[in-house]
Amino acid sequence: MKYSIEGEPLPVVICELEANEKMITEKGAMSWMSPNMKMETVGGGAGKMFGRMFSGESMFVNHYTAEGGPGMIAFASSFPGAIRAFELEPGKDIVCQKTAFLASTFGVEMSVFLQKKIGSGLFGGEGFIMQKLSGKGVVFVEFDGYIKEYELSAGQSIVVDTGYLAAMDASCSLEIQKVPGVKNMLFGGEGVFNTVIKGPGRIWLQSMPIGQMAGSLIPYLPSGK
């Protein structure tokens, strides 16, 4: 499979498949394709279906197969930002924000990532459940806004505001940190908790989380009165 990612900040990934090659996609992710791409909607067992649901995705996924020769299929991002490709292999998993999964080659699996500390899940910004992408193959994920990467060494950490963590290597860990001082918590405008990400591993931070943007727009929306 060959691919190209084009058009940021409204990107699309265009995949060129060989005959009988297959892609796995989230429901509704396909933007355009050649006529010989055959679609099949699958669930993959109750455990996997509910795992996808709890990690923010649909219970069903679509399989697209190039029949009778080479095929082409494209997947567009649903929000201004970036599409990134990750080469996965056993032992090289990544953890992403909810709804980040866009498409992948056959052999990539998505599962629920339960954060080790309950506090991290409740207050860390991405909810108690995130997505873990593993297996062997290429996976495409969508992030919100501009993406900044950092490589954290063992024991090195970074403090991130709510929602700005887009993805991290599975070797990284999450904890929460209370904002010091009651006045800072109440009037600082930064919330009560921050997420602390600790290495070793690479992290991807996003500049415009969709939830943050939605909150900023609320004061300007009609009240309905």
Report pLDDT digits (tens) over 65-78: 999 999 999 999 98
**Two structure tokens written together for 106:** 């056959």
Q: Tell me the pLDDT band of 223, cut-offs 50, 70 and 90.
A: confident
Q: How far apart (Å, rounded) are the C-alpha atoms in residues 74 and 78? A: 13
**Two structure tokens written together for 161:** 């505001």
Please tell me the total count of domains within the chain. 1
User: For residue 6, is it within any domain?
Assistant: yes
**Highest mean pLDDT, choosing among 124-128, 152-156, 172-176:** 152-156
Alpha-carbon distance values, 99 to 20, 72, 91, 196, 210 (Å): 27, 24, 22, 22, 11
Mean pLDDT of the chain: 84
> What CATH number is attached to the domain comprising 141?
3.60.160.10
**Per-residue pLDDT averaged across 106-114, rounded?**
88
**Per-residue pLDDT averaged across 208-217, rounded?**
80
pTM summary value: 0.83
Report yes or no: 192 and 162 within 8 Å, Cβ to Cβ. no
pLDDT value at residue 217: 78
User: For residue 225, is it within any domain?
Assistant: no
pLDDT value at residue 43: 73
pLDDT value at residue 49: 46
User: For residue 56, is it within any domain?
Assistant: yes
User: For residue 41, is it within any domain?
Assistant: yes
Structural domain span for residue 133: 2-215
The torsion angles phi and psi of 153, rounded to 5 degrees, stand at -80, 170
User: For residue 223, is it within any domain?
Assistant: no
User: For residue 84, is it within any domain?
Assistant: yes
Report yes or no: 161 and 225 within 8 Å, Cβ to Cβ. no
User: For residue 220, is it within any domain?
Assistant: no
Q: Tell me the pLDDT band of 116, cut-offs 50, 70 and 90.
A: low
Report yes or no: 170 and 197 within 8 Å, Cβ to Cβ. no
Q: Tell me the pLDDT band of 101, cut-offs 50, 70 and 90.
A: very high
What is the percent of the chain with per-residue pLDDT over 70, rounded to a whole number? 80
User: For residue 23, is it within any domain?
Assistant: yes
Report yes or no: 96 and 88 within 8 Å, Cβ to Cβ. no
